[in-house]
Structure 1
Amino acid sequence: MNLSDEEKDTLMLIQRVKIAEVIAKISHGLGDAAPAYFDRLMNPMLSLLQHTKDATERASVLSSLSELVKACRGRNVYKCLSEMLLAIKLSQRHDEDLEVRQASLRLLHAIVTSYSANVLEELPLGDILHLLKQLSEDKEETICDSAAEIRKLIAEQLESGFLELKDANLIDLGQDCGLMN
């Protein structure tokens, strides 16, 4: 059977999308064992994301990444955090496809929710909030709404984290810490 170059490209694309979907299902099915397999699953997905130009495949890989992050519940996610955040930023800045941009925001949402109170310690909040501020002015309403939802989630987690520190008597929110001088 002889296929044209276009048919071969289409077939390869379909196979790669299916691989990303299988990885997402595996991630979801692993449950508590997902962090043990994080590296084995993450590296092929990041490679797929880096080497593809097709919007459908990029959206599929980003969705698979978010499933893996959710399955890990914050454990081992830090290993590839900077790569995932870079992929999100690049998708938002350079991809015009709405599906890809929405998938990258779902990944950011998964990252933020998986960190819960640890968001204070490990996430580069300045970069994330700057990106979300830019996205809140986007022409697509769904992008603006998703960005606003993630900003609200981060604010709630920050407030919760500060209240936990206050309850543990580690900080006094009413006392001047000398940071304003």
Structure 2
Amino acid sequence: MSRIRLVPMLLILIVSLAVFFAGWQVYKRYNLVDPLKTDLQTVSGVQNVDVIVGNPTVIRVKLGPVEDLQTTYDSIAEAITGSVNAGSSIVILDNKDKALQQAYENLNPIILEGVHKGNYQEMITSFEKAAAAQGIKAKVTMDAHNIYVQLQQGSHYLYDVWQYNTLQQGQGGAAS
């Protein structure tokens, strides 16, 4: 009868796991993260990209001043499509200060009310006028899935992307 030696088996197990882990890290780095970062760096306005691989994968994108958040966000989403799993999330980082953040929090009800009532044109006009009254340059755009909000005051800027399904779920009632 042959005896199984515990020490050599554990050593083989540890070496095998180390090789598999190292292989996964190399694959992740050179076939997923680096190409995605390179693609995103080509998008106008992108200053820095951080990819946190996991479930879900989180892509943190630091934006500089952009002319149109919707166009920039669409370019980012297009670059990500096919690179990572479908459940990945995009986090937009901006350059806001406390005053701009506070103003944005005060303006949020205008968006929520506009979505609830379905008065999108009125919502955009009211939001931009209320921001202008506070000395803030505002731009709100929309597509079939998101509302894109841009605020700028001096050298500070704030970007936010609201998903319709998130807004509609908070209203109560049925959502399709």
Q: Same fold (TM over 0.5)?
A: no
Specify which structure has the bigger relative contact order, considering alpha-carbon pairs within 8 angstroms and separated by 6 or more residues: 1
Structure with a larger share of its residues in strand: 2
Could you say which structure has the larger radius of gyration?
2
What TM-score, normalized by structure 1, do the two folds share? 0.29
